[in-house]
Amino acid sequence: MSIPDLPALHALGPAQQPRYPDAAAVDAAVARLRTFPPLVFAGECDDLTTKIGAVARGEAFLLQGGDCAETFVGVTADNVRNKLRVLLQMAVVLTYAASVPVVKVGRLAGQYAKPRSSDLETREGVTLPAYRGDAVNGYDFTADARVPDPQRLVEVYHASAATLNLVRAFVTGGYADLRQVHAWNTDFVKESPVGQRYEAMANDIERALTFMQAIGADPDEFHRVDFHSSHEALVLEYEHALTRIDSRTQLPYDVSGHFVWIGERTRQLDGAHVELMRHIRNPIGVKLGPTTAPDDALALAERLNPDNIPGRLTFITRFGAGRIRDGLPELVEKVTAAGVEVAWVCDPMHGNTFEASSGFKTRRFDDVIEEVQGFFDVHRSLGTWPGGVHVELTGDDVTECVGGGEELAEIDLSHRYESVCDPRLNRVQSLELAFLVAEMLRKA
Ligand SMILES: O=C[C@H](O)[C@H](O)COP(=O)(O)O
Ligand SMILES: C=C(OP(=O)(O)O)C(=O)O
Ligand SMILES: [Mn+2]
């Protein structure tokens, strides 16, 4: 089954694509991308498929998180380290408090393209094309910045390579060593109640590690962690140029990231994104919103994972706190009854966005938790496994989502709102979420 070429994909009328004004410049950027080495290896993607297979069987839990939209200026050592640090802290909370292996996947090193609900943005009477992520156009509200520029795809590659290089150094070079469990709990978070709770847990872990060392156990897993990259596979030029034939197996992989997902707005069964993704061998996800008919999900599973390989397909549901308890059961029931192998993951962010009176896009921490609780309750009542969470978060002290232990109010949003797209949980809120999810997991 050969990979369709780009014109064949475009003939399917893909949604959410940039409208580039200069076709020759697009060809040049794609030609350049095709010469670049892979960002990830096929064997690493296979390892992740195996791990997500354990999630699908109810033997592991997936933690997937990072920015809604990465930015080129955000590729700094501090920024990448802070994101990694909060994910490591969350993972250790989930692993320790719930005694479940945690599969760690960052929404990073490639998360640069955004689908939008509107093609246009209007500010104070001026209307311009919407910002579609640094992969496509600039965030500045000027006509020039908003013109899609294919050279940005080349920059996505370099930004992703730099990020991944740093992440690999952190996770293998000692920073992710479990004995650093205290060192991750620094600055503002350490002083917060949840930071104190983490500190107490870290003391327990340290004692357990000391004991294990005393009896001669010093497993490699203490020194390094497995960490994988992921992003939404949105811009076809980029994902196609990075789809390569693996020399070991002669099979195609999208080597732009370990795990790629199809968004809620681009999951049309006969659409170009499904067509490209069904050819690649990476572990993949599909976002499923509240209007998903169970038959659509079954058809997607049949098309994207015809051999029903565990770990190949993850359904990431994003219903919203108010709809999950009514909407999710039928979907899970029918998919399960059909014998479909899938990992179920909850995105408690995208169904809970609203505009604050000040104009900022925000989410309530309580809605996020309520959706995760609904997800756990539905799976518990059906006897299926709530396999993971997919969250938008940052390692910084931003003010983008309201609520949480710090009780951020709408009036606080302007203090430090830095997201260029959707509101993210800050580090304190992320850690709070991890403790709450760990409790739900323990009960599951
Ligand atoms: O991240 C997801 C989408 O890109 C985002 O929720 C769309 O936001 P919009 O409704 O502001 O376009
Ligand atoms: C665009 C996103 O989500 P969805 O496709 O679920 O709206 C996202 O994850 O940023
Ligand atoms: Mn988002």
Q: What is the pLDDT of residues 130-184, one digit of tens each?
A: 999 999 999 999 999 999 999 999 999 999 999 999 999 999 888 888 888 988 9
User: Residue 32 domain-assigned?
Assistant: no
Q: Is 53 in the pocket of ligand 1 (CB under 6 A)?
A: no
| Nearest ligand 1 atom to alpha carbon 118 | 12
What is the Cα–Cα distance from 24 to 26, expressed in whole angstroms? 5
Structure tokens belonging to residue 336: 């399960």
pLDDT 10s digits, 348-394: 999 999 999 999 999 999 999 999 999 999 999 999 999 999 999 99
User: Residue 130 domain-assigned?
Assistant: no
pLDDT value, residue 186: 83
* Percent of the residues in the chain that have a pLDDT greater than 70, as a whole number: 100
Q: Decide if 316 contacts 261 (C-beta within 8 A).
A: yes
What is the Cα–Cα distance from 248 to 237, expressed in whole angstroms? 25
User: Residue 215 domain-assigned?
Assistant: no
User: Residue 205 domain-assigned?
Assistant: no
Q: Is 422 in the pocket of ligand 1 (CB under 6 A)?
A: yes
Structure tokens belonging to residue 238: 């980029």
Residue-number span of the structural domain to which 52 is assigned: 6-18+40-118+150-176+224-443
User: Residue 198 domain-assigned?
Assistant: no
Please give the distance, rounded to the nearest whole angstrom, from the Cα atom of residue 69 to the centre of ligand 1: 10
Please give the distance, rounded to the nearest whole angstrom, from the Cα atom of residue 284 to the centre of ligand 2: 14
pLDDT 10s digits, 269-317: 999 999 999 999 999 999 999 999 999 999 999 999 999 999 999 999 9
Q: Is 324 helix (H, G, I), strand (E, B) or coil?
A: helix
User: Residue 257 domain-assigned?
Assistant: yes
The domain total for the chain is 1
Q: Is the pLDDT of residue 218 over 80?
A: no
DSSP code per residue over 255-321: TT-SEEEE-TTS--TTSHHHHHHTT--S-EEEEE-TT--HHHHHHHHHHH-TT--TTTEEEEE---T
CATH number for 310: 3.20.20.70
- β-partners of residue 403 are 408
pLDDT value, residue 399: 98
Mean pLDDT of the chain: 96
Please give the distance, rounded to the nearest whole angstrom, from the Cα atom of residue 116 to the centre of ligand 1: 5
Residue 407, Ramachandran bin (φ over 0: left; ψ between -120 and 50: alpha; else beta): left
* SS3 of 166-230: HHHHHHHCCCCCHHHCCCCCCHHHHHCHHHHHHHHHHHHHHHHHHHHHHCCCCCHHHCCCCCEEE
| Nearest ligand 2 atom to alpha carbon 287 | 6
Burial class of residue 114 (count of CB atoms within 10 Å of its CB; 0-12, 13-18, 19+): buried
pLDDT value, residue 65: 98
